[in-house]
Amino acid sequence: MCLYFHYSPLFKCSTFCLNLLHLYRDPNQAYLSINRCSTTPLRIMQALTTVILLLGACTYASEARSFSCCDALTNIPQLKNKVYMPETTQYEQRLKTYYSANAALEPWCMVMPESTQDVSRVATVVSKHSCPFGSRSGAHSAFRGANGVKDGITIDFGHMNATVYDAKHKLAKIQPGSNWGHVYEALDPYGVAAVGGRASVVGVGGFVTGGGYSFHTNVKGFACDQVVNFEVVLADGKIVNANRKQNPDLWKALKGGSGNVGFVTRIDQRVVSSNQLWGGFIVFDLAQRHAVFDTYIKFVEVNEEDAASQLIVSVQYDGKQRLLLSVVSNSDAVESPTAFSPLLSIPNTSNTLTRGKIADLVPQFTGPTPLGLYANWMTGMTANDIRIMKFMDEKHEEYVGKMKAAAPGSDFSILVQFQPVTALMVSHARENGGNVLGLEDVTADGPTLMWLIAVTVDTAENQEKIYPLTLEYRAAVNAYATAIGINKNWEYLNYALGDQNPLSHYGARNIQTMRRASKKYDPHGVFQRLRASGFKIPE
C-alpha cells in the first residue's frame, strides 16, 4: 500500500482544522486528503500522528516487498550473480548507460539475465511475488518510466546481446539487448544487413516491438514486418515461439504492440541482401527552408517511383543556432539517384553524401550521443501538407526564443523532424502476416507526414522551466493540424512521450487483437498489472 498526502492551501481562517476527507484503498495505494478548517491544535496533532503512522506502514510494506522480490531473485542459484543492488558498482554503471536521465530510475534492484532460461526464472519470480517491474533493451526511449522502474525491479537485457546469422534461411537471430550498431557489425562479414535502426545506439527489442522505421522501410516495411519468429517468455515462465504457424496471434500482437504480452528473448528477422547504402546529411541555409519543404512534399507524393530512396527533413536548434538539414538515403546504394535531383539542385552549405557499408555509415548518421541529459520526445502525424512544415518551423523559432528566456544560460537543443509514412510502406505488413500498427486506414487517402519534436536539456532544473514550453509547442501543432483538417491522430510508439497513448490510435480491431492475445497468453494480467514501464494496452 502506498500513501499520497495532500495538504490543502491555507485560506484566511482564524483557526485550523484537519478533516480526513478521503481514504481510498486498493491493493497498491491509498490516498489521504486533509483539509484545513476550524478545530483545536490537539485535533491537528492527532490527525498528523495518524498520517505519520500510515506513512510508516507504507514505507515498511514497500521495503518488505522490495526485499521479497530482490531476495527471491538472488536465492535462485542461476541468477545470484546477475542481480545488482543499489550502491553497487554494477548498479550505478548501468544507470549511467541510459540515453536520457529522465528514464534512469533507481529500482529496488536490477537483474541482468544472460539466457532465455534466466528470463524464465525471472518471470516466475515476478508472477509469484507480484513484483512490479520494468524492462530495458537499449534504453534509448527518453521519458520517465520508458524502460525502467523506481518502485520495482528493472529487468535489463543488456547481457543478451548476440546476433547470429543463419545463412541457410537468410535470417538474423538477434537478442533484444543488442543495439543496431552491433547488429550491423555482426552481419557485415556476410554481406547482408537488417531492417533496423538508423542510429547505432538504438536498442533492438523496443525498436522492433514498437514498429521500427528504418532505411529500408519503403522497400521492406517496418522492422516488425520482417520478423518471422519471436522467442517469448510468458508470465508463467513458459518459453514459446510465435510465428506464422505457432501462436500466430501472439506473433501479430508483438508486431507493434510493444512489451505487453511477454518477454521477447530472440527476434528472427529476414536479412537485407546487401550491406551497402548511399546517403548522408545535407545542410542548407535557413533561407532555403521553403524550397526544401516544397521539395520534400513533392518527393513524398511520387516516392513509389524510386522506393529505394528515402528523405527526412529537419529543423534544429543546437544550442547556438537554428539549422536546416535533410537526411537522404538510397538502400540500393545508387549514388545521387534521380529522385533527389530537385533537392540536390538547391544550394547547400555542406553535405556528407557517400556510398559505403551500412555498418560504417550508421555511426556517422548517429554522431556523438552524450548520455545523462534530460530528453523528451513527442510525436504526431498529419497529411502530407507543406502548411504543417511551415507552421512547425515558425513555432520552432518562437519557442527557441521562449526557452532561452525561461532558462537563461541553459544548454538545450530542440529538433523538429519530418518523415513520410505511405501506403507502400504499409503494404509490406499484409505480405508478412500483418501487424497491429493500424496504418492501413491512416494512409488510405494518401501519404502522411510523421513529425517528431525532441528536446534535450542539460539539467533537471532547466528542464522544469523548458518542459512546459515543449508541451505548449506540441499543443499548438496538434491544434493547428486539427483546425485545418489534416491531423491523422496516429502516434509512433517509439517517438511518443509518456503522456501520449500510442496504442489507443491503432484502431479498434488491432486493440482487440492485443487484448485477446494478452488474455490468452497472460491470463492473470501480469504484464498489464505489474509492468510499470512503457505503454499498456488500452482498456
Residue in 150, 155, 149, 143 with CA at minimum distance from that of residue 205? 155
Distances, alpha carbon 235 to alpha carbons 111, 132, 154, in Å: 16, 13, 15
Sorted by sequence, the CB contacts under 8 Å of residue 350 that are 6+ apart come out as 281, 282, 283
Q: Record the cell numbers describing residue 239, joined without a space.
A: 518459453
Query: Using 50, 70 and 90 to split pLDDT, how confident is the model at 42?
Result: low
Compute the average pLDDT of residues 288-298: 98
Closest CA to 470 of 386, 407, 536: 407
| pLDDT for the residue 26 | 35
Residue 232 pLDDT:
99
Q: Across-strand partners of 219?
A: none
> Which ranges of 302-447 would DSSP assign to H, the alpha helix?
341-344, 358-366, 386-406, 423-431, 439-442
CATH 3.40.462.20 positions along the chain are 277-503
How far apart CA 511 and CA 243 sit, in angstroms, is: 19
Q: Are strands 133-136 and 153-156 parallel, antiparallel or unpaired?
A: parallel
Phi, psi of 516 (to 5 degrees): -65, -40
CATH architecture label of 277-503: 3-Layer(aba) Sandwich (3.40)
Give the whole-angstrom CA distance, residue 256 versus residue 506. Answer: 9
What span, in angstroms and rounded, lies between the C-alpha atoms of 431 and 111?
38
Q: What pLDDT, on a 0 to 100 scale, did the predictor assign at position 40? A: 56
Mean pLDDT (whole number) for 32-47: 49
User: Measured between alpha carbons, how far is 318 from 516 in angstroms, rounded to an integer?
Assistant: 45
**Dihedrals phi, psi of 283, to nearest 5 degrees:** -105, 130
Residue 203, beta-bridge partner list: 179
Average pLDDT, the chain: 90
Q: What is the dihedral of CA 177, 180, 184, 187, to 10 degrees?
A: 30
Instruction: Return the CA Rg of the chain.
Output: 25
pLDDT above 80 (res 3): no
Q: Amino acid identity, residue 484?
A: I
Kindly state the average pLDDT of the residues 453-472: 98
Residue pLDDT, tens place only, 277-291:
999 999 999 999 999
Residue 100 and residue 156 in contact, taking contact as beta carbons nearer than 8 Å: no
Closest listed residue to residue 527, CA positions, set 238, 243, 158, 236: 236
Of 152, 145, 139, 146, which Cα lies nearest the Cα of 93?
Answer: 139
Reported as a single tens digit per residue, the pLDDT across 379-438 is 999 999 999 999 999 999 999 999 999 999 999 999 999 999 999 999 999 999 999 999
